[in-house]
Amino acid sequence: MKTLLFFILALLVIVTSGCAGQKNKKKLAYVERPAETIYLDGYDRMARKDWARSILLFDEVERQHPYSEWARRAILMSAYASYEANKYDEAITAASRFVALHPGSRSTPYAYYLIAVSQFEQIRDVGRDQGKTAEALAALQQVVRRFPNSEYARDARLKIDLTKDQLAGKDMEVGRFYLHQGNTLAAINRFRNVVTEYDTTSHVPEALHRLVESYIILGIMDEAIQVAAVLGYNYPGSDWYQDSYELLAKTGGLQAVQQLDETDPVKRKNFFKRAWGRLF
């Protein structure tokens, strides 16, 4: 991914310009030099993966020549170097400033994309707070919305699926915790959110099964049967449907499983539609 970002940025630098940039806390000793000289020095440092030095040099271009074309280019290069140095917040700040100052630039789609991937790189495992995941999702969706036919949008769509799966995984973890603690209503809210908000993720079959389990705990058999019908209609061969079926057979008896065993495809589809409309 980072190799791809560098290749894309190199092309952008050839064909277009960026904008003025962010300030690092550190600065070089002021020695006046032509903007092009400083910029190319920074580019050489970046090619050698000396990210810290390249950031200082690109920022120096703006400090000495704030209104030059080289300064406008340097800010985006500084943002990319920050990304490569794993200084994601600095990369986001620089790229965001670029967007604010030059929304019509040919490099703006790349700046939006750099913001999004910098957010994406900060996603934490499911066991931790998912605030960064939500921010990454919003940034990725913005790339797709603003530049739907771009190469950035294609990659953003793939990452959107990953972020949604991450957020769904967090809801599942919290929902299972609530369920084990006996807070069934709170668990239901989490599982329902997975089904309605993250319906393309791998967590949906389990979420539906956990809803069946939750409704049985509450003694609401009609809802349990209908959720199981939704699960069976969409994931008929899944282990989670088999678990729900067996659970209903134990708790709801013959009447419960007869509705799930409906063989008439029209009746089965109509039952599914009624269940989905009522529950979700």
**Mean pLDDT for the chain overall:** 84
Same domain, 193 and 273: yes
- Which of 122, 40, 120, 124 minimizes the C-alpha distance to 77? 40
Q: With a cut of 50, say whether residue 17 has pLDDT above it.
A: no
Read off the pLDDT of each residue in 104-124 and give the average, rounded to a whole number.
92
pLDDT band for 16, please (50, 70, 90 cuts): very low
Q: How far apart are CA 85 and CA 166, in angstroms?
A: 25
Structure confidence at residue 39 (pLDDT): 93
Structure confidence at residue 123 (pLDDT): 87
CB 38 within 8 A of CB 77: no
Q: How far apart are CA 154 and CA 137, in angstroms?
A: 14
pLDDT winner (highest mean) among 27-31, 119-123, 209-213: 209-213
DSSP 3-22: HHHHHHHHHHHHH-------
Q: Is 140 a domain residue? A: no
CATH code, domain carrying 42: 1.25.40.10
Same domain, 114 and 195: no
Same domain, 176 and 110: no
Of the residues 66, 87, 122, the one at which a domain ends:
122
Same domain, 102 and 182: no
Same domain, 118 and 7: yes
Of the residues 93, 122, 151, the one at which a domain ends:
122
User: In whole angstroms, how far apart are CA 53 and each of 38, 87, 91?
Assistant: 11, 14, 15
Same domain, 109 and 193: no
Q: Is 107 a domain residue? A: yes
User: In whole angstroms, how far apart are CA 149 and each of 115, 117, 176, 259?
Assistant: 18, 18, 39, 46
Q: Is 134 a domain residue? A: no
Number of domains in the chain: 2
237-269 pLDDT, tens digit per residue, is 899 999 998 998 888 665 666 666 655 565 556
Long-range contacts of 172-175, Cβ-Cβ distance < 8 Å, separation of 24 or more: 172/203, 172/206, 172/207, 172/210, 173/126, 173/127, 175/207, 175/210
Query: Where is pLDDT greater, at 277 or 121?
Result: 121
Read off the pLDDT of each residue in 62-79 and give the average, rounded to a whole number.
87
Q: What is the pTM of this model?
A: 0.74
Q: Is 39 a domain residue? A: yes
Same domain, 117 and 173: no
How much of the chain, in percent, has pLDDT values that exceed 70? 78
- Which of 143, 144, 67, 85 minimizes the C-alpha distance to 111? 143
Same domain, 8 and 103: yes
Q: Is 132 a domain residue? A: no
pLDDT band for 164, please (50, 70, 90 cuts): very high
Q: With a cut of 60, say whether residue 9 has pLDDT above it.
A: no
Q: Which domain holds residue 56?
A: 2-122
Same domain, 95 and 182: no
Q: With a cut of 60, say whether residue 20 has pLDDT above it.
A: no
Q: Is 144 a domain residue? A: no
CB 54 within 8 A of CB 45: yes
Q: Is 161 a domain residue? A: no
Same domain, 77 and 180: no
Same domain, 260 and 177: yes
Lowest-confidence region among 65-69, 108-112, 134-138: 65-69
CB 206 within 8 A of CB 234: no
CB 140 within 8 A of CB 156: yes
Read off the pLDDT of each residue in 123-149 and give the average, rounded to a whole number.
89
Structure token digits, residue 215:
């409704």
HSE-CB of 48 using CA atoms within 13 angstroms: 9
Of the residues 62, 89, 122, the one at which a domain ends:
122
Phi–psi pair at 150, nearest 5 degrees: -85, 165
Q: Is 136 a domain residue? A: no
Same domain, 203 and 112: no
